[in-house]
A and B are shown apart, each in its own frame.
Chain A
């Protein structure tokens, strides 16, 4: 029996449920069923019990698969196949030849479309609203998870989540940016843009990892650290910098995984790692293509050009040695089969854990230094 303990916001709510009973298939996207949420204990911090359905903050139940623009021809064909199927069952007409012809066609079209994606299409996939987020992967990868909250300074930031989990036999600390699912939750999680208190919570999790000798796994998925008045007042720059500084000297393995948008300092704050995994349709960049276009082209609509110029795809970053491992996504992207994606990530994490756990702590820190020390390209004339 697998158990997850999970805190939900805005009230501190604890949900303990059976993962097996709680995750159901709908299409291929796992979601948390409200009715069959297994054994559910829900409590407010005040002790007053409330209905689980009222607070469930990221149910994927009402998700309607929305095609991106470039996916539309594929969706049209799929719709046609579905119509033929219905027709053949309701009218008793044998359309199996036609259906199998169309299925072959759709498979070919999908392969063609996805083997030829430009940077801008990959950007759209990396931001796909149905893409699995940090919580999804934690759930699918770990058999136990207990979330921690707050920076012990100011507040809890729902845009960055952290906790202790179990992957097979490995105890690990998870840290990751969390975008919201659904309008309410998206707002609550500030679209995955942390405030300084988010990074300070991350540092608390790092301290726990150090104290208990646990490896850290970070899931990177953010449009950037939040640019707002409160964030500046409370030292966004300092929080990011301090988090990077802390990661540099941690005597435990640190594994990063870019699962969606890896944008700017907000991504790097949890991105100084021993090993970086990167999903095929994730991106990692110094600035968003829109931001870059508006500064360098003075025209935000040039974002597709900027996306190309920034060389931010997994293929390019893998080639440049920034992403050590490129994790192939299922046909059509991670959201089309999040279980398969999670299994791919889990296998890669287990490999990385095995490799890094064998390295003594001081050597680990030394290697990490060497990894970043050599990043950068320049020429130096002989003096």
Chain B
């Protein structure tokens, strides 16, 4: 189910002055890309963002408060492939400065209160194990309890194989929590970014009240390589991209990064809880 390792080929180095666009191959001045919210000025490719970058884009300045930052995996299966899972975890934690693949918390979006969870794809492909499942479930429960608004920004290859069945059952755990959230009349929005596949796509990401996707984001159950291997054919152009899902009725809208905050604000104003406008930091 998980489709992307941490050593993904499309990883971009934004070090140095110039970078190459993953999509059009254009060499672009780094500052220009950053000024443009990490969107390629030539082809509109949306580069993957870290959780900090998303917080900067979406959340009002100095209003973000992180919840449960200290949850860590304990390698429940004592899993070992070519390396030990616990070593890989330690190494990734050191590289990324994060404990696992999601940051959860709350903050204000144009002065409207939200609970928010943001995946970090560069932490083992944003894969969902016990830690990600637990943090999302707590976030959903907190949203239900406070009848606030929920936004989950996904970027994940799916379940984390190294935690075996515990990873698979995080899909059950998060969806069970969402079935409770449905009873609380709280707004749940999912923002699907590149890529959102496997166990994350097949659980909470696909059943939000409003599903938004970034342009050209890869979204689907199975990865493109698995599908083309299974059917023995090349896949059609644009298959499993956000625009393809929009056309097939699986998502509500494809929204460009430069208007994402405005769009989410509008959705909260129209559907969500607009009562709370402060955060306790």
By a beta-carbon cutoff of 8 Å, the part of chain A in contact with chain B is: 225-229, 231-238, 240-242, 244-245, 248-249, 264-265, 268-269, 271-272, 284-287, 291-292, 295-297, 305-306, 309-312, 317, 320, 322, 368-369, 372-373, 375-381, 383
By a beta-carbon cutoff of 8 Å, the part of chain B in contact with chain A is: 1-3, 5, 68, 70-74, 76-77, 79-82, 129-131, 133-134, 137, 159, 161-173, 175-180, 182, 197-199, 201-207, 219-223, 226-227, 230-231, 235-236, 239-240, 248-250
Asked if B202 and A236 make an inter-chain contact with CB atoms under 8 angstroms apart, the answer reads yes
Kindly provide the distance from the CB of B93 to the nearest chain A CB, expressed in whole angstroms: 13
Asked if A241 and B202 make an inter-chain contact with CB atoms under 8 angstroms apart, the answer reads yes
Asked if A236 and B221 make an inter-chain contact with CB atoms under 8 angstroms apart, the answer reads yes
- Closest residue of chain B to A305 (Cβ to Cβ) is B81
**B167 proximity list for chain A (CB < 8 A):** 286
Q: Tell me the bound Cα distance from A320 to B169 in angstroms.
A: 12
Asked if B199 and A265 make an inter-chain contact with CB atoms under 8 angstroms apart, the answer reads yes
- Closest residue of chain A to B83 (Cβ to Cβ) is A296
Kindly provide the distance from the CB of A211 to the nearest chain B CB, expressed in whole angstroms: 18
Q: Tell me the bound Cα distance from A227 to B164 in angstroms.
A: 20
- Closest residue of chain A to B231 (Cβ to Cβ) is A228
Asked if A285 and B168 make an inter-chain contact with CB atoms under 8 angstroms apart, the answer reads yes
**B220 proximity list for chain A (CB < 8 A):** 232, 236-237
**B80 proximity list for chain A (CB < 8 A):** 309
**A373 proximity list for chain B (CB < 8 A):** 137, 173, 176-177
13 A-B pairs with CB atoms under 8 Å apart are A236-B222, A237-B219, A240-B202, A241-B207, A244-B171, A272-B172, A284-B165, A286-B164, A286-B199, A295-B2, A311-B77, A381-B70, A383-B70
**A240 proximity list for chain B (CB < 8 A):** 202-203, 221
Q: Which of A237, A295, A372 has the most CB of B within 10 A?
A: A237
- Closest residue of chain B to A228 (Cβ to Cβ) is B231
**B161 proximity list for chain A (CB < 8 A):** 286-287, 292, 295-296, 310
**A268 proximity list for chain B (CB < 8 A):** 168-169, 171-172
**A228 proximity list for chain B (CB < 8 A):** 222, 227, 230-231
Asked if A296 and B130 make an inter-chain contact with CB atoms under 8 angstroms apart, the answer reads no
**A265 proximity list for chain B (CB < 8 A):** 1, 168, 171, 198-199, 202, 221
Q: Tell me the bound Cα distance from A370 to B223 in angstroms.
A: 32
**A306 proximity list for chain B (CB < 8 A):** 81
Kindly provide the distance from the CB of B190 to the nearest chain A CB, expressed in whole angstroms: 11
